[in-house]
A and B are shown apart, each in its own frame.
Chain A
Amino acid sequence: MDWQERTVTTGGAELMLRSAGRGRPLLVLHEELGDPGPLGWQADLAAERELLLPLHPGFGRTPRMEWIAGMRDLACFYAAWLRAEGLAPVEVVGISFGGWLAAEMMANDPSLFHRAVLVAPPGIRPATGEIFDLFTVTAAKYVQASVMDRSAPELPVLFGGKRTPEQFEAWEDARAQVARLAWQPYLHNPSLPRLLALVPAPPTLLVWGREDPIVPLAVGEAYARAIAGARLVVLDGCGHRPEIERREAFVGGVRDFLGAAAAAARA
């Protein structure tokens, strides 16, 4: 799979955008530690779609913008970009932090998305359990802690797989920006469940590992209650990274969900 990289000028920013594949665009919003690099699930989907993966402002590659100080700011920035590019309504896959971002965008303007796949996003405080504290461990430890199925073939290649000065710096950029956006309340927005319940949300698929050690399943259940008609798929023996721990099931589920959308669009 060939990834292209280009810079898009939008909203006063030079947004770094990675893309792969051809076809109907599929927006991919990356996680809290940045873009973990090309992965199999992306290649699978890029076989039939054009994947658009913007690198979040302040996470190292796209310069930080001082005014983006919270999740709503970031959500509005991306909403403006989607409108400017004529991409909305688009389908979206948001991974962890990226899923929370998609949920915030949806709560602000549900017409941005045709369908949404949210993969184990934080953003809502769980009724039981806690969202793992990313900021009290090193990034390398966080990656290790996130996975339940250690036999996942792509675990060794996440984020390049090697500890280099460049990767360390990239992680620190990402962590610092997440701290700016979500230090307190920690990785959640107390209003989000209410806001999501107030809008006509697009069809939404929630994907969760039953043993997710980072964002407990209780958060998925809260999202399912907040988003009318949302479907929660729970994968057994799986941690915070269903997209690599249960690649086949994940891709199959996403394909079915988005394929249904395509069929609906054709009808």
Chain B
Amino acid sequence: MHIMWFTERAYHAIPEDEVIRRKSFFGLPNTHFDPEHGATLLNRYLDEKIYTDELGAFDGVMLNEHHGTPFCLGAVMDVEAAILARVTKRVRIVLLGNPIPTVGNPLRLAEELAMIDLISRGRLVPGWVRGAGSEQLANNTNPAYNREYFEEGHDLILQAWTRPGPFRFEGKHFHFRFVNPWVKPYQKPHPPIWIPGLVSPDTAIWCAKKRYPYIALATSFEPTAELWNIYAQAAAREGYQAGPENFGYMQPVFVAESQQKAEELGKRFLFGGGFAHFARPEWMFPPGYNSKEATRRLARQLANPNLPGKSTLGEGDEVDPVAARKIIYDAYPKALEGLQMIAGTPEAVIPKLCKVLDVLRPGIFSFWLDGPVPFEDRLTCLRLLAQEVIPALREHGKRLGLVDPFERAPGSRPLPADGKPEPVAWPELLRAAS
């Protein structure tokens, strides 16, 4: 198993009521940004990663990138990755992912990432994303061409890494007539690529075709299991059996020395009203960002107030922060019960995390640690994870045969003799438990 951890690197010191009133982190005026506070936080977030490396139990640290939001200070995650490449010794640096469309220059990305791979001597795991809807607005990237930019940019990056230069690349959107980057990746033929997602079938099928592991970002268990079976079906059409090496899962978690403290700190994960409730449709789904099918699905949801996916804060402009806050924080017990957040002492969280492994069988597992929580408590959480939780998870993973993509190449397992793929997840275990 590959075990890593992730944090959004949030800014935290923002007026929560204003976020709630806007129903969005995105668009909060940057006049709320204080460089002194930003400097402190960015350094702390780097220190945590270095501490993780020293703890020894983690295989990787994961970074992401967002724009125009206090939700994530990693506006250019390759900058952070470059520092970690130099100062850490053993962890893999997992970037999930670089938003190819919004960065806008795939060749530049290829060069940045090659440098990070070289400085870290082959510890880079790059990944790609389309960028959230709001990122398209923050970077003025035409959302109607988002998937085309993504796919064409991806092809250019791989060519820049593997195809002898100089060569010409003249696509529909990207035009480079002299591709010959001198700095090429350390890992051959190129660094392993993982793709994060929020259960979009299009992305899962694309990953299966490319034999890229798919990392589900804390999505609900049932749709995640369903999606992995879609991946496995697509993999079967490509002629291979998908397995743990093809899948990763990220799980919100908070561990402390007492159950009460852990649950209290875990609650702060809902900071700013949580995540799902802050999806303003005009920023989440800019024009043409979604496929026709996804738009149709969304159209039905928006017209039907009883379907999921609708903001619990309502559709109107007026939001009462007090009432909204109550809705948000009242949801916490349910989140604990449904394992959307696993908080507790090491002894309490281990069986729950093992249950997640039983259901989803991921070869890659990431803890997700977030919320306005004191730095010391975050370090304690990381230490307890390293010393007590990770060894137990590794043992359980071994029992389940959870191999990661470094132990078995994704796409290298043949299909069973009858050509029918074996199941890759066991959602029925979840139902049995409840």
Interface of A toward B, CB cutoff 8 Å = 135-138, 141, 163-166, 168-169, 172, 175-180, 183-184
Q: Is the CB of B145 within 8 A of A184?
A: no
10 tightest A-B CB contacts, nearest first: A176-B288, A175-B287, A165-B299, A168-B299, A179-B144, A183-B142, A179-B287, A165-B303, A176-B287, A169-B299
- Interface assignment of B334: CB less than 8 Å from any CB of chain A: no
B34: interface (CB < 8 Å): no
Give complex CA distance A180, B295 in Å: 17
In angstroms, how far is the closest chain A Cβ from the Cβ of B306? 14
B137 within 8 A of A: yes
A180 B145 Cβ-Cβ under 8 A: yes
Flag if A163 contacts B288 (CB, 8 Å). no
Q: Is B143 an interface residue (CB 8 A)?
A: yes
* Chain B proximity of A166: nearest CB distance (Å): 8
Q: Chain A residues with Cβ under 8 A from B286's Cβ?
A: 135, 179
Chain B contact residues, majority secondary structure: helix
For A136, give its contact among B137, B295, B299 (CB under 8 Å).
Answer: B137
Query: In angstroms, how far is the closest chain B Cβ from the Cβ of A192?
Result: 20
Closest beta carbon of chain B to A135's beta carbon, Å: 6
CB-defined contacts of B285 to chain A, threshold 8 Å = 172
Evaluate contact between A183 and B137: CB separation under 8 angstroms. Answer: no
Could you count the A-B residue pairs with CB atoms below 8 Å apart for me: how many are there?
58
Would you give the shortest CB distance from B222 to chain A, in whole angstroms? 24
Most buried by A among B140, B288, B290, B296: B288
Structural contact, B282 and A164, CB atoms closer than 8 A = no
Residue in B closest to A186 when the chains form the complex, CB atoms: B140
CB contacts (< 8 Å) of A177 on chain B: these are: 144, 288
Query: Roughly how many angstroms separate A141 CA and B296 CA in the complex, as a whole number?
Result: 20
Task: Give every chain B residue within 8 A of A168 (Cβ-Cβ).
Answer: 295, 298-299, 302-303
Q: CA A175 – CA B281 in complex, angstroms?
A: 14
A176 near B144 (CB under 8 angstroms)?
Answer: yes
A183 to B136 alpha-carbon distance, docked (Å): 11
Q: A175-B287, A175-B288, A183-B142 are in contact. Are A135 and B302 (CB under 8 A)?
A: no
Judge whether A141 and B282 touch: CB under 8 Å: yes
Q: Which of B142, B145, B287, B303 contacts A172 (CB 8 A)?
A: B287
Which A residues touch B140, using CB under 8 A? 183-184
Chain B residue numbers with a CB within 8 Å of A166 are 299
With A and B bound together, what is the CA distance between A105 and B121 in angstroms?
A: 58
Q: Which residues from chain B contact A135 at a C-beta distance below 8 Å?
A: 137, 143, 286-287
- Nearest B residue to A137 via CB reads B282
Contact between B143 and A179 (Cβ–Cβ < 8 Å)?
yes
Contact A180/B283 with A169-B295, A169-B296, A172-B299 known, Cβ cut-off 8 Å? no
Across the two chains, which residue of chain A brings its CB closest to B287? A175
Counting CB contacts under 8 A, is B300 at the interface? yes
State how many angstroms separate the Cβ of B101 from the closest Cβ of chain A.
12
**Proximity string of chain B (148-176) to chain A, C-beta cutoff 8 Å, 1 when within and 0 when not:** 00000000000000000000000000000
Residues of B near A164 (CB, < 8 A) are 303
Q: Which of B142, B144, B296, B302 has the most CB of A within 10 A?
A: B144
B105–chain A nearest beta-carbon distance, Å: 16
Interface majority SS (helix, strand, loop, mixed), chain A:
helix
| B residues lining the A interface (CB < 8 Å) | 137, 140, 142-145, 281-283, 285-288, 290, 295-296, 298-300, 302-303
Across the interface, do A165 and B296 meet the contact criterion of CB distance under 8 Å?
yes
Contacts of A137 in B (CB 8 A): 282
CA distance A141 to B145 in the complex (A): 24
**What A residues does B290 contact at CB under 8 A?**
172
| Most chain A beta carbons < 10 A, residue from B283, B290, B303 | B303
A21 shortest CB reach to chain B, Å: 33
Given contacts A135-B137, A136-B282, A136-B283, contact A180 B288 (CB under 8 A): yes
Q: How far is the CB of A97 from chain B (nearest CB, A)?
A: 13
Q: How far is the CA of A169 from the CA of B288 in the complex (A)?
A: 11
Name the residue on B nearest A172 (C-beta): B295
Report the bound CA distance from A169 to B285 in whole Å. Answer: 12
Tell me whether A138 and B282 are in contact (CB under 8 A): yes
With both beta carbons as reference points, the residue of chain B lying nearest to A180 in the complex is identified as B144
* Residues of chain A contacted by B288 (CB below 8 angstroms): 172, 175-177, 179-180
Q: Given A135-B287, A176-B288, decide whether A163 and B137 contact each other with a Cβ distance below 8 A.
A: no
Instruction: Report how far A178 CA is from B283 CA in the complex, Å.
Output: 17
CB-CB under 8 A from B303, the residues of chain A are 163-165, 168
With a cutoff of 8 Å between Cβ atoms, the chain B residues found around residue A141 in the complex are 282
Q: B142, B282, B302: which contacts A179 (Cβ < 8 A)?
A: B142
Inter-chain contact A138/B281, CB cutoff 8 Å = yes
Which of B282, B285, B296, B298 has its CB near the most chain A CB atoms (within 10 A)? B282
Please, how many angstroms separate the alpha-carbon atoms of A161 and B281 in the complex?
A: 20
A172 to B296, CA, bound (A): 9
26 pairs from A and B in contact (CB 8 Å cutoff): A135-B137, A135-B286, A136-B283, A137-B282, A141-B282, A163-B303, A164-B303, A165-B299, A165-B300, A165-B302, A165-B303, A166-B299, A168-B302, A168-B303, A169-B296, A172-B299, A175-B288, A176-B144, A176-B287, A177-B288, A179-B143, A179-B144, A180-B142, A180-B144, A180-B145, A184-B140
Closest residue of B by beta carbon distance from A166: B299
| B144 contacts across to A, CB distance below 8 A | 176-177, 179-180, 183
**Chain A residues closer than 8 Å to B282, beta-carbon distance:** 136-138, 141
Closest to A133 in B: B137
A165 to B144, CA, bound (A): 20
From A136, A137, A163, A179, residue with most partner B Cβ within 10 Å: A179
